[in-house]
């Protein structure tokens, strides 16, 4: 092989030429999605070994002489079909005897005649390889037009390694079709947001767990927060929650007499996991681990009942601003309310930054007292009755009164109630106060949306004030619950959509990131999908879903259609940030998180 170890021809058996190159534009969904591919048709001499090799993912290189030295255009193979020229002239209208004779002839000649070949359909990756120096150089270049008849080679493992893998990257599975581990830049994988997309059971939660593991093992200074509506992650990451994490729920497992049992019963524990643990105690091993969580105070309560984190401080700030208003009447009223609330606060010795609802548990008259101070300055009948222009004071006072009234309608949370999403967010951005992993089990989608919206908003606010602190990744499995395309205020989907979109658009500069996962791309807010830079696509049975991903990820629909052949745990990865080369789709087999979990649960429980 004089032309280097980067091109391969299977000892001369892969004897192939470019037959045709064309641009193909396809329109889907009544013109809403337009996808373009540069298609390369290659014809290879018929050979069974070649045919076998082409069944697995591969890249091919089309030779292109140029003034600056040889260049190779890199295509990705979509499919390979064996063709015998006689089959082309066969016709079902032939008499049967003749047809069978034809078929016998064709079958006996595969591999023995020049008249059989392999048609290879491939799509251009947008990259060329230059072999002028010692190392191959991969560059994005769509200006080279290939020459029909040019020789075609397979890219060797070594070339693919150079093409795809990041130096010293984190291993995330095996590259299908190549004897290689995929190595990605994990930091960039999460930094630019990512997601897993595939039918139920393709392994999205498993892969998400695996990625969280990798983050915790190899990224310093990163916090992961998983909003779990399906009840999977405290189990799938149990060893990590026990070691460096915490589990929150809106059910108070801690105060239940059979908390361990109840917690385990609430989770979707895979049968395969219990089976794999059988030789080591099975279900009771899980119980032991959950018990450890309770013993180490890692099972906590989240408080969503307190819907509005209104504090005395927030009220005071509002009236203080009014006290400085240019309008003397506004300023006078503002000053009076401000002073009376300060006085109330002093008399009762109330903390300024606790939510009023919490304070109201100890001082039941509090909300009423604050209301009457404000109401004494707002002639109620006047402002509610007439449609006259409200003063600045009146608008502000009414907004606060309304909020206070809503607080009164809310059931007061249990004594010793849980943590507010706002407080969790504040703690998250300071490294001393946040565990590396936080799993929140919130099975009711409405509550999960409320939590997520309040958490993300506070996270962004906290980071805008104080830019320092760890990176935070928010994981939203079953993302269609949080960012559906149909949005309504009454089920809180509008609010959660706004918050998640904001995280996707602005998060990166505040070191806040998002990982989503869903089975139905069609039901997702497309704006959100387009903010993502790394896509793991599994089998997506509906063509619409594949087209949305193809469009958002900028790859050809032919490649996306190949996901139909993927097995559980196998993925098409398209990443614009985490692989060495932007946006080249690769197929991988991810390791099974469940295996890693079993190993760790057994190993660590023996150690402790
Ligand atoms: N990489 C993998 N290797 C082996 N088995 C896997 C892999 N990923 C998922 N599985 C198995 O497939 C099943 C479904 O996985 P899951 O992650 O729950 O799918 P999804 O979240 O897409 O519905 C589980 O039993 C899981 O253990
Ligand atoms: Mg899942």
DSSP sequence for 137-191: EEEE---PPPPTT-EEEEEPHHHHHHHHPPTTPEEEEEETTTTEEEEE-HHHHHH
Q: How would you write 6-65 as a 3-class SS string?
A: CEECCCCCCCEEEEEEEEEEEEECCCCEEEEEEEEEEEEECCHHHHHHHHCCCEEEEEEC
Confidence of residue 606 (pLDDT cuts 50, 70, 90): low
In angstroms, the CA 313 to CA 333 distance is 18
Contact 408, 372 (CB under 8 A): no
From 379, 409, 439, give the residue that closes a domain. 409
The predicted-structure confidence for 400-423, as pLDDT tens digits, reads as follows 888 888 777 665 555 557 888 988
Output Rg (C-alpha) for the chain, integer angstroms. Answer: 31
Contact 335, 323 (CB under 8 A): yes
Asked if residue 178 belongs to a domain, the reply is no
Least confident among 110-114, 213-217, 257-261, 420-424? 110-114
Distance in Å, CA 594 to ligand 1 centroid: 8
CB 203 near ligand 1, within 6 Å:
yes
Sign, CA torsion 147/150/154/156:
negative
Contact 277, 329 (CB under 8 A): no
378 with 399, same domain: the answer is yes
In angstroms, the CA 488 to CA 23 distance is 42
| 20 has a pLDDT exceeding 50 | yes
Distance in Å, CA 205 to ligand 1 centroid: 7
115 with 132, same domain: the answer is yes
At residue 198, the pLDDT reads 96
At residue 391, the pLDDT reads 87
The predicted-structure confidence for 230-251, as pLDDT tens digits, reads as follows 999 999 999 999 999 999 999 9
444 with 562, same domain: the answer is yes
Q: What is the mean pLDDT of the chain?
A: 91
At residue 605, the pLDDT reads 75
CB 204 near ligand 1, within 6 Å:
yes
What DSSP designation does 349 have? Answer: T
Contact 552, 530 (CB under 8 A): yes
In angstroms, the CA 277 to CA 289 distance is 12
Least confident among 96-100, 132-136, 326-330, 379-383? 379-383
Which whole number is the average pLDDT over 90-102?
A: 88
At residue 359, the pLDDT reads 84
First to last CA, the chain: 56
CB 594 near ligand 1, within 6 Å:
yes
What DSSP designation does 414 have? Answer: P
At residue 340, the pLDDT reads 95
353 with 502, same domain: the answer is no
| 382 has a pLDDT exceeding 60 | no
Distance in Å, CA 307 to ligand 1 centroid: 36
Contact 219, 602 (CB under 8 A): no
443 with 530, same domain: the answer is yes
The predicted-structure confidence for 46-70, as pLDDT tens digits, reads as follows 999 999 999 999 999 999 998 878 8
What token pair was written down for 362?
Answer: 């100890």
Closest ligand to 231 CA?
Answer: 2
Q: Using CA positions, which residue lies closest to atom 11 of ligand 1?
A: 203
Closest-CA residue to 22 (of 124, 117, 116):
124
Asked if residue 169 belongs to a domain, the reply is no
| 608 has a pLDDT exceeding 60 | no
Q: How far is CA 180 from the centre of its chain?
A: 25
188 with 95, same domain: the answer is no
Provide the H-helix boundaries in 178-301. Answer: 186-191, 204-218, 233-236, 238-244, 259-266, 271-277, 283-295
Tally of domains in the chain = 3
Closest ligand to 229 CA?
Answer: 2
Which whole number is the average pLDDT over 76-94?
A: 90
CB 57 near ligand 1, within 6 Å:
no
Asked if residue 295 belongs to a domain, the reply is yes
Q: How far is CA 390 from the centre of its chain?
A: 46
Closest-CA residue to 16 (of 146, 84, 88, 117):
117
Which whole number is the average pLDDT over 104-126?
A: 92
What lies within 8 Å, CB to CB, of 21 at 6+ separation is: 38, 39, 40, 41, 124, 145, 146, 148
| 1 has a pLDDT exceeding 50 | no
Confidence of residue 462 (pLDDT cuts 50, 70, 90): very high
At residue 380, the pLDDT reads 61
Residue 351 has a CB neighbour count (10 Å cut-off) of 11
At residue 607, the pLDDT reads 62
The predicted-structure confidence for 144-168, as pLDDT tens digits, reads as follows 999 999 999 999 999 999 999 999 9
Mutate to test the pocket of ligand 1, among 172, 174, 203, 237 (most ligand atoms within 8 A of CB): 203
Q: Using CA positions, which residue lies closest to atom 10 of ligand 1?
A: 203
Question: Rounded to 10 degrees, what is the CA torsion of 163, 164, 170, 174?
Answer: -120
Task: Provide the residues around ligand 2 (an ion) whose CB is within 5 A.
Answer: 204-205
90 with 122, same domain: the answer is yes
38 with 114, same domain: the answer is yes
Question: Helices 493-506 and 445-465: crossing angle, nearest 10°?
Answer: 40
The predicted-structure confidence for 246-256, as pLDDT tens digits, reads as follows 999 999 999 99
Mutate to test the pocket of ligand 1, among 568, 572, 588, 599 (most ligand atoms within 8 A of CB): 568
CB 201 near ligand 1, within 6 Å:
yes
Distance in Å, CA 165 to ligand 1 centroid: 25
At residue 411, the pLDDT reads 57
371 with 294, same domain: the answer is no
Burial (0-12, 13-18, 19+ Cβ within 10 Å), 393 = buried
| 134 has a pLDDT exceeding 60 | yes
Asked if residue 176 belongs to a domain, the reply is no
| 395 has a pLDDT exceeding 90 | no
Asked if residue 527 belongs to a domain, the reply is yes
Asked if residue 172 belongs to a domain, the reply is no
The SS3 of residue 370 is helix
533 with 590, same domain: the answer is yes
What lies within 8 Å, CB to CB, of 27 at 6+ separation is: 33, 34
Token pair 């039901």 is found at 523
Report the CATH number at residue 533.
3.40.50.300
Asked if residue 1 belongs to a domain, the reply is no
What token pair was written down for 180?
Answer: 């290689």
At residue 63, the pLDDT reads 96
Distance in Å, CA 269 to ligand 2 centroid: 12
Asked if residue 170 belongs to a domain, the reply is no
Confidence of residue 2 (pLDDT cuts 50, 70, 90): very low
At residue 385, the pLDDT reads 47
Report the range out of 304-308, 391-395, 479-483 with the highest average pLDDT: 479-483
Which whole number is the average pLDDT over 330-357?
A: 91
CB 205 near ligand 1, within 6 Å:
yes
| 388 has a pLDDT exceeding 70 | no
Sign, CA torsion 187/190/195/196:
positive
In angstroms, the CA 57 to CA 257 distance is 54
> What are residue 587's DSSP bridge partners?
572
404 with 482, same domain: the answer is no
State which residues form the domain around 486.
184-305+416-607
CB 200 near ligand 1, within 6 Å:
yes
36 with 154, same domain: the answer is yes
Contact 428, 434 (CB under 8 A): yes
Distance in Å, CA 341 to ligand 2 centroid: 50
Share of the chain above pLDDT 90, in %: 74
From 370, 393, 409, give the residue that closes a domain. 409
From 164, 196, 215, give the residue that closes a domain. 164
At residue 412, the pLDDT reads 54
The predicted-structure confidence for 510-554, as pLDDT tens digits, reads as follows 999 999 999 999 889 989 999 999 999 999 999 999 999 999 999
At residue 468, the pLDDT reads 86
At residue 308, the pLDDT reads 65
Distance in Å, CA 187 to ligand 1 centroid: 24
Token pair 């001369």 is found at 12
Report the range out of 43-47, 387-391, 527-531, 580-584 with the highest average pLDDT: 43-47
Which whole number is the average pLDDT over 182-209?
A: 97
Distance in Å, CA 207 to ligand 1 centroid: 8
In angstroms, the CA 350 to CA 137 distance is 67
Residue 167 has a CB neighbour count (10 Å cut-off) of 8
Distance in Å, CA 235 to ligand 2 centroid: 13
């Amino acid at each position: 092989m004089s032309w280097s170890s980067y091109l391969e021809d299977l000892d001369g058996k892969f004897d192939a030429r470019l037959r045709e190159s064309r641009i193909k534009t396809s329109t889907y969904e009544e013109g809403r999605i337009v996808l373009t591919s540069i298609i390369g048709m290659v014809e290879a001499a018929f050979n069974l070994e070649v045919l076998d090799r082409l069944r697995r993912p591969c890249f091919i290189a089309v030779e292109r002489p140029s003034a600056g030295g040889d260049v190779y255009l890199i295509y990705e193979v979509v499919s390979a079909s064996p063709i015998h020229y006689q089959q082309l002239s066969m016709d079902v209208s032939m008499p049967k005897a003749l047809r069978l004779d034809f078929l016998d002839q064709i079958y006996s000649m595969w591999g023995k005649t020049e008249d059989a070949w392999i048609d290879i359909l491939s799509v251009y990756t947008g990259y060329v390889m230059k072999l002028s120096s010692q190392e191959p150089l991969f560059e994005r270049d769509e200006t080279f037009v290939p020459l029909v008849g040019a020789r075609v080679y397979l890219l060797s493992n070594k070339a693919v390694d150079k093409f795809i893998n990041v130096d010293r990257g984190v291993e995330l599975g095996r590259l299908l079709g190549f004897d290689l581990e995929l190595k990605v830049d994990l930091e960039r994988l999460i930094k630019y947001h990512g997601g897993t997309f595939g039918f139920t059971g393709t392994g999205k939660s498993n892969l998400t767990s695996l990625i969280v593991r990798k983050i915790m093992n190899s990224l310093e200074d990163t916090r992961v927060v998983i909003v779990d509506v399906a009840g999977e992650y405290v189990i799938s990451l149990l060893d990590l929650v026990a070691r460096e994490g915490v589990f929150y729920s809106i059910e108070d497992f801690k105060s239940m007499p059979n908390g361990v049992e109840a917690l385990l019963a609430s989770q979707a524990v895979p049968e395969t996991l219990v089976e794999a643990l059988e030789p080591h105690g099975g279900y009771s091993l899980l119980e032991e681990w959950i018990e450890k969580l309770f013993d180490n105070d890692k099972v906590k309560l989240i408080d969503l009942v307190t819907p509005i984190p209104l504090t005395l401080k927030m009220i005071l700030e509002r009236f203080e601003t009014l006290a400085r208003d240019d309008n003397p009447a506004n300023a006078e009223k503002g000053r009076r309310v401000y002073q009376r609330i300060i006085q109330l606060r002093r008399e009762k010795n109330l903390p300024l930054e606790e939510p009023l609802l919490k304070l109201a548990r100890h001082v039941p008259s509090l909300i009423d007292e604050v209301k009457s101070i404000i109401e004494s300055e707002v002639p109620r009948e006047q402002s509610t009755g007439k449609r006259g222009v409200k003063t600045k004071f009146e608008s502000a006072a009414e907004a606060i009164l309304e909020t206070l009234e809503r607080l009164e309608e809310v059931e007061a949370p249990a004594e010793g109630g849980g943590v507010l999403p706002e407080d969790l967010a504040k703690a998250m951005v300071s490294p001393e106060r946040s565990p590396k992993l936080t799993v929140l089990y919130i099975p009711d989608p409405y509550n999960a949306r409320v939590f997520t919206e309040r958490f993300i908003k506070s996270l962004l606010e906290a980071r805008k004030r104080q830019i320092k602190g760890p990176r935070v990744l928010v994981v939203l499995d079953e993302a269609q619950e949080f960012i559906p395309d149909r949005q309504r205020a009454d089920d809180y989907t509008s609010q959660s959509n706004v918050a998640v979109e904001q995280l996707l658009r602005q998060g990166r500069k505040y070191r806040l990131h998002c990982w989503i996962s869903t089975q139905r791309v069609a039901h997702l807010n497309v704006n959100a999908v387009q903010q993502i830079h790394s896509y793991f696509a599994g089998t997506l049975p509906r063509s619409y879903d594949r087209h949305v991903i193809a469009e958002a990820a900028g790859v050809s629909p032919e490649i996306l259609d190949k996901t139909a052949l993927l097995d559980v745990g196998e993925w098409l990865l398209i990443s614009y940030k985490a692989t060495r080369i932007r946006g080249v789709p690769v197929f991988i087999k991810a390791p099974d998180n469940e295996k890693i979990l079993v190993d760790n649960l057994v190993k660590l429980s023996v150690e402790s």
